[in-house]
Structure 1
């Protein structure tokens, strides 16, 4: 079989035709028409439909919202002088295409879901554990990954069952494992884990390891778990058994008669062996893209703690024939449909986990599982998508998500990867570079944790809005203005807050066009946002007013942080 691209997951990442299929429609928002008013009410797919003045719940298993305490002093201190944010203007020639105004109403009622610390992380190949670049002594890697806050680094991918060999006894690599020049077979030892731990310590990060199930050996997996538990301690948040085992019967790792029942027999053997050597380490699984495996894993009887995980690449109809809306092209990426479909699919995955009382992680994701470059890779559009996908996942109830990436060179390396290395093809020079989608992830990763608040929104063309209440009493509002930065005028926003704000800090991600590959920046720089306390003020900020009126340039992600009287 042809070598798989390490930044795309396995070939079986194609949409699960037997899985839950939403009522898909290719819909680009018409700026001349306001979108139907919607309430983001949390839980699985938090929304209520407003019909004849009656609120009708649409979501199942959603949590009852609770009121948060927000100061509402009758008398405010005198208004200070503010330094205002200099927002990138609309394209030359504006006003161009008008965008319907966006009306937002932020409630003091929570959705029942939270933005957790360490939400955003990267998924890497298991063989990358052996890469010397993964070290706390590598300032390039530390500086780059620190832009994702306190990330979870997940090691797995196609490599783990094909060209990865764990040994704590310096055994020779078995001859049946095969790789190629770009994807060599690598042995990983306790010394490699010790080095990777220095990186985790420098980042205050956590790690999720995957053990080889393709080459059945529970004892070897247990040995790796024992060393990992000793070396990483609390930073080891879980171990996954195999990568996408639902594809084994079709990709040659098992014969065609191998079934889900066989998987659970093997999983139980691995879980028992791992429990004997590292009883406090959770099993994260099943790590698959097939819905028929979700509920059986959620209900599986294993001796240790379980965390539910799945994989998702929404635009993976590579030839566009069976499902044109799933083809990885810009028109699909910048549509309302991809947002709605992703919410539906992830909501379906959450159902069995929630029913079983399990935490849910999305351990491998990206725009597409299709090999090579396409219209969406390396583009500013992918950055807009990544920011929206990350924060919407948290609002649904997912607590960790890892975007599949690679340590290969930017030149000739996987185009979907959020990071890559400088230098000629397969000759890395030590420089770590961030692609556009990395900056979209950083916008969300740098936010403080907190509880999501209910938001009502109307209008705005292709835009999505979120709000988070933080422990310090402040409220963040995230506005993903995915309208076309080349052709669309600024979006007028009317924002209603639940209290009178004293400050309004602003940070913004921008890009020249959907298709641009090197224009994505945060606050005019290719770097993460500065801390909230150092940010400038929203232009047009009305001190002490619950209603804020302002304009946002198309093709941007804006995070506003409002503080209130203590």
Structure 2
């Protein structure tokens, strides 16, 4: 009852103007009524008044300890709704540090997740694969191949980008039955190939089976805008809305160095030829965006954005952070120490931010359709190892948080034996004799951890302590919160990090999935929840150890060398 409302009054007391008068049968006896009134007053104070104050039935406590002579001048607060009983749960069985680890202490990690959105979203299909343009002719790429379909669906709704060095050197498009021209050659490991409309039809069955999209690249090395437009016409008819972008040439800034064009050819020549391609392509596919320049030199970005082209443009850049291939020293050499360093994380973010700032100036999106740890050929300490998986999780999420819309990790359909070791996938069988099976390498599992997150919105957060750790938080479309923690402390040396996580709400459920590996340098030993597979759906995951039901604050420990996805509902 509101504080200003008067308490209900009882029956009139004797001696007032309502007192009974003597009648013809003699004086009325008022004391029975007074006794009854007294009983009613007591009942009113004991039973009715609490109901008016709280709006509830009288509780056992109020019935057993009535205070008929005492009232409060303040309103009685409405009690908060009680939580339902906590359901039974199975806690996640987290792998501990490897046997024999020195267990160097790690500072406790504190993460405070805000309810405020940062303004960036995790795009659906953020991670994908970049392949060579000649792979369009690979007959293993079809919807009936359960092996490749499974690998693609493990990446969510990925973008398949076809380009690479092959497109300007060993690739030939023909819709009229032409053979391979004499001036286009390859070698045993990198054969030249003719791609036809039938190849596009076959690849489209793979896109449909795996719910993937596609980005194509046309040959600029052999100047032929009409042939490129013919390919785009057939591709647009075949793929429909699954064809999301087109690039003219691959890394044109490198043409003079690789012999694709003479040494005098430069960015002005590129823009002149690009316009002729763009005009021809616009006539057959006016709604298809041009993705460019696909260069690794920043000086080529703005000329592309300033070019007067008829179709929509998307800025693309290629990025291989550890690109120094002829040395093992310096912070850009492909070493595990460089890969697992805050310096590389910060330098990569600065490079991407420069591209994003420029793209926003021209109101266009920014994609990285070709990327990876290192463009160096052959094996190095960063290929096939668990550290590459940890890097892939942080690299992808930080790029998305900054505003990058698409990532294509450059890969190969060659055999695991002898094939490019940085590829996320590879085929079984002896060298150059694939047997039709496909395997995942460590970096694939890092990509898969990101892909399963869906398309939430990034939340602001604050972190402190934890050694070399990175954290990201997302508000999901269903209202839940996902928190990703990449613990890049060395699993062979560091103890578990004690984590205190403050959430934007009181959690009713908290599930966990974790990617692990015994050491940074362990090859082909990265697992998700103990298996070589993509994460299981959130609803099937175990509960965070020590989960505090109905609390905003959660405390738990995380093993070093792990990437952990936590999901909380409220």
Q: Tell me how far apart the structure 2 counterparts of residues 211 and 74 of structure 1 sit (CA, whole Å).
A: 63
Is the contact between residue 101 and residue 492 of structure 2 (CA under 8 Å) also seen in structure 1?
A: no
Give CA deviations for 1:472-517 in whole Å, capped at 9, x if unaligned: 1001000000111111110110000011011011100000110110
How far off is 1:407 after superposition?
Answer: 0.1
* Residue 137, structure 1, aligned to residue 144, structure 2: yes
Give, in whole Å, the separation in 1 of the partners of 2:210 and 2:320: 27
The 3-state SS of whatever aligns with 1:537 is coil
Deviations 1:269-311 (A, max 9, x none): 0000000011111111111110001122122221111111100
Contact 2:141/2:203, CA 8 A, preserved across alignment: yes
The correspondence of residues 22-101 of structure 1 with structure 2, limited to 5 A, is 75-93=82-100, 96-101=103-108
- Report what 1:310 is aligned to: 317
The answer on 1:360 being equivalent to 2:366 is: yes
Aligned to 2:222: 215
SS of the counterpart of 2:368?
strand
SS of the counterpart of 1:331?
Answer: helix
SS at match of 1:285: strand
**TM-score with structure 1 setting the length:** 0.86
Shift of 1:76: 2.4
- Structure 1 Cα separation of the partners of residues 115 and 224 of structure 2: 52
The superposition leaves residues 51-110 of structure 1 with CA deviations (integer Å, 9 ceiling, x where unpaired) of xxxxxxxxxxxxxxxxxxxxxx86422211111111111122456111111110001111
Aligned equivalent of 2:405, options 399, 409, 431: 399
Query: Partners of 2:219 and 2:315 in 1: how far apart?
Result: 18
User: How far apart are the structure 2 equivalents of 1:134 and 1:491?
Assistant: 43
Which whole-Å CA distance do the structure 2 matches of 1:369 and 1:183 have between them? 16
Contact 1:285–1:306, Cα closer than 8 Å, also in 2? yes
Q: CA RMSD in A?
A: 1.1
* Aligned positions of 1:340-359 closer than 5 A: 340-359=346-365
Q: Is 1:264 aligned to 2:244, yes or no? A: no
The answer on 1:177 being equivalent to 2:164 is no
Which residue pairs with 1:423 in the alignment?
429
Partner of 2:524: 518
Secondary structure at 1:208's aligned position in 2?
strand
Q: Deviations over 1:293-337 (max 9, x none)?
A: 11221222211111111000000111237x700000111111111
230, 237, 247: which one aligns with 1:230:
237
Q: Aligned in 2, Cα 1:318/1:94: closer, same or farther, shift over 3 Å? A: closer
Distance in 1 between residues matched to 2:179 and 2:81, nearest whole Å: 74
Spell out the pairing of 1:311-460 with structure 2 (5 A cutoff): 311-320=318-327, 324-460=330-466
Where in structure 2 are the equivalents of 1:117-196 lying within 5 Å?
117-196=124-203
Superposed, which structure 2 residues align to 1:506-545 within 5 Å? 506-545=512-551
Asked if structure 2 preserves the Cα contact closer than 8 Å seen for 1:329 and 1:375, the reply is yes
**Deviates further, 86-95 or 282-291:** 86-95
Q: Quick one: which of 462, 467, 472 aligns to 1:461?
A: 467
Higher mean alpha-carbon deviation, 252-261 vs 501-510, is at 252-261
Q: State TM-score, norm by structure 2.
A: 0.85
User: Cα 1:295–1:76, aligned 2, differ >3 Å: closer, same or farther?
Assistant: farther
> Aligned partners of 1:308, 1:135: CA distance in 2, in Å?
30
More displaced 10-residue stretch of structure 1: 75-84 or 454-463: 75-84
**Partners of 1:485 and 1:419 in 2: how far apart?**
25
Partner of 1:32: none
Q: CA deviation at 1:237?
A: 0.1
Tell me how far apart the structure 2 counterparts of residues 440 and 137 of structure 1 sit (CA, whole Å).
Answer: 26
Q: In structure 2, list runs of 5 or more residues that go unmatched.
A: 1-79
**1:443 aligns to what SS in structure 2?**
helix
Question: Alpha-carbon deviation of 1:471?
Answer: 1.0
Map Cα deviations across residues 525-559 of structure 1 (whole Å, 9 max, x no partner).
Answer: 00000011111110111011111100000110000
Structure 1 unaligned residues grouped into runs of 5+: 1-72
Structure holding more strand per residue? 1
CA distance in 2 between counterparts of 1:199 and 1:103 reads 44
Conserved in 2, the CA contact under 8 Å of 1:320 and 1:326? no
Contact 2:236 2:285 in 1 (8 A): yes
Secondary structure at the aligned position of 2:253 is classed as helix
Tell me, in whole angstroms, the C-alpha distance in 1 between the residues paired with 2:404 and 2:474. Answer: 15
Q: Please say if residues 485 and 514 of structure 1, whose CA atoms lie closer than 8 Å, have aligned partners that are also in contact.
A: yes
Greater alpha carbon shift after TM alignment, 336-345 vs 432-441: 336-345
Deviation of 1:248 after TM superposition, in Å, equals: 1.0
Tell me, yes or no, if structure 1 residue 109 matches structure 2 residue 137.
no
Whether 1:558 aligns to 2:552 is no
User: What's the counterpart of residue 19 of structure 1?
Assistant: none
C-alpha distance in 2, partners of 1:302/1:470? Answer: 37
Per the alignment, in what secondary structure is the counterpart of residue 293 of structure 1?
Answer: helix
Contact 2:102 2:492 in 1 (8 A): no
